[in-house]
Structure 1
């Protein structure tokens, strides 16, 4: 390994703490977004909500590109195929599978299945990039999953129903997002994360818009035109929770890898229940504190850089 490459690896590992701090903020925004989207889908068609959020996200990412004067670098045909595949996996398929899955299963099952995303990402990264699954990372995954389980199952009325079509759809949604993340990590070596984010959400928003125009899952209580308050929620969800948070997410994948980045997803259910308690009046218990501590410990263990093996002398 050359000295320049060693410096590059050291720079990536040294950037970890700042990336981790920003990721925690992004996870808090995603946790708040759970309550926001829950309100929106109660009055608007879920597919329409997804399509409008993605369109707002594309506009926000475009403004970020203009502000940074970054521009969108022209990808090769092979990279373009990768971007289309990421858009289908991480935006279009993920959104539809997630919405349709939650319509057919319980929220408890959904939260537990979503917590499998770091495990899927770590396994996919181990296969695709030959990343070593250290004992610390394995313990971190187990602690994180246990913390999420403690938080979700302690909720009043929580329980596990038998597996069904909805559970399988949610597993597919988690797997599609994790698979797209491994492709993002590979492309981040050649394209900027802003370019990747803009392309993925532009293509995904187009696919969702066409889907919403051709077929929707309208509920009896769903309305078509949002009012001012609903537009404010859509703007928050599209700009902060979708555009900015996902730009941070893809940037972190390019810096510390998909396996270490995905462990932070354990914080989303914890923040989600916390904001639901503050904003929607749900009751917090001691189990929430226990689960939060387990999630923090699991995140720390799962994102620690592996000890570098001694390099043999030439």
Structure 2
């Protein structure tokens, strides 16, 4: 019996790592599709149409029995706080932040998200990390920062307001990861994913309608759909970059620690570089390779199984800390 449980646990963790790799790969490619979509529609319209597709896919999955939802008797209002963090809080802060700061500054700031996640997970979930894991997280962050800095990027203090909003988006992202990990003790990944996509669809459509009503452009809401490039981009963003990534991260968080999952977000930088090279013919320099190696090494170092001595230290730490609820 114990052998069967052990095999199931290993299988679950293997699927969790596969899910988070899928997540990082999709996010890494999403920047190209976002850039294409924003050439035809505003950020808020893109989000509205993006989450409309996600919601439509959810309806199909529930109707066909692929997703089974059972919120009866569960504290579903807690999911409202989760949805407030992501997608609502994250995308809103990111959109306004990028209006007052460069995308390069955003990339540098977003790289610190795994650090914030590890800190919040340690405080709220009492998830301990070894010294090696802490250093590995820092290594992955350094890899991302190195790539952006060597590209000529820097932090311009005149963009302080934008950088603050981007930092808050990182904090919200970290909070979402930690709260998801906690709520997934009660809710299933399909339930969390379905709730998030539904709230995102309703909220961003309301924002889009209000924006067009204020500007007298209600007849232009669906204009971007006349462009094939926009349609392909919004299909990728709505189905893969929203629905699939939300489910993948939720599934992974139900099996693995938050700090281990979060560091994979930096892997999306490596995916972006590879995609740019193979799909767009962009040049790959030595610093791209060095930074990518540091990122991958950091991800591996964070997730590799602790040595017996490290594992014993983690158990001692966890036993000495009282367990507290997040909400």
What interval of TM-score do these two structures reach, taking the shorter chain for normalisation?
0.7 to 0.9
The equivalent of 1:303 in structure 2 is: 303
Q: Does 1:25 align with 2:22?
A: yes
Asked if the contact 1:61/1:244 (under 8 Å) is kept, the reply is no
Alignment pair present for 1:207 and 2:203: yes
Give the conservation status (yes or no) of the 8 Å contact 1:106–1:161.
Answer: no
- Map residues 1-314 of structure 1 onto 2, 5 A cutoff: 11-12=8-9, 15-76=12-73, 79-155=75-151, 157-162=152-157, 163-215=159-211, 224=221, 225-226=223-224, 227-306=227-306, 307=308, 308-309=311-312
**Aligned residues of 2:19 and 2:249 also touching (Cα < 8 A):** no
| Contact residue 111 and residue 152 of structure 1 kept, 8 A | yes
Is the Cα–Cα contact under 8 Å of residues 54 and 238 in structure 2 kept in the other structure?
yes
Q: Is contact 1:12-1:256 (8 Å) kept? A: no
Q: Distance in 2 between matches of 1:124 and 1:268?
A: 22
For residues 110-153 of structure 1, give each alpha carbon's deviation from its aligned partner in whole angstroms, at most 9, with x where no partner exists: 00111111111111100011111211111111110111112222
Distance (Å, rounded) in 2 between the aligned partners of 1:179 and 1:10: 32
Query: What secondary structure does 1:255 align onto?
Result: coil
Going from structure 1 to structure 2, the CA distance change for 1:71 and 1:103 (only over 3 Å counts) comes to same
Measured against aligned partners, the alpha-carbon deviations of 1:20-72 in whole angstroms (never above 9, x if no partner) come to 23322321111110111012112210011012111211222333344454421
Answer yes or no: is the 8 Å Cα contact 1:263–1:303 preserved in 2: no
Q: Give the Å deviation of 1:7.
A: 8.3
Closer, same or farther: CA 10–113 of 1 in aligned 2, 3 Å: farther
Contact kept in structure 1, 2:105 and 2:153, CA below 8 Å: no
- RMSD of aligned alpha carbons: 2.6
SS at structure 2 position matched to 1:160: coil
Cα distance in structure 1, aligned partners of 2:169 and 2:198: 19
Assess if the C-alpha contact under 8 Å between 1:151 and 1:270 holds in 2.
Answer: no
Q: Secondary structure at the match of 1:43?
A: coil
2:22/2:248 contact within 8 Å kept? no
CA contact (8 A) 1:54 1:204 kept: yes
Task: Indicate if the aligned counterparts of 1:120 and 1:175 stay in contact, CA closer than 8 A.
Answer: yes
Q: Residues 13, 260 of structure 1: CA spacing in aligned structure 2 closer, same or farther, 3 A cutoff? A: farther
Shift of 1:281: 4.6
Q: Secondary structure at the match of 2:38?
A: helix
Question: What's the TM-score, normalizing by structure 2?
Answer: 0.84
Unaligned runs of 5+ in 1: none
Query: Could you tell me how far apart the structure 2 residues matched to 1:180 and 1:95 are?
Result: 12
- TM-score (norm: length of structure 1): 0.88
Once residues 36 and 70 of structure 1 are traced to their aligned partners in structure 2, the CA distance between those partners, rounded to angstroms, is 27
Distance 1:7 1:277, change over 3 A: same
Do the aligned partners of 2:29 and 2:271 also contact (CA within 8 Å) in 1?
A: yes
Distance 1:270 1:136 in 2: 22
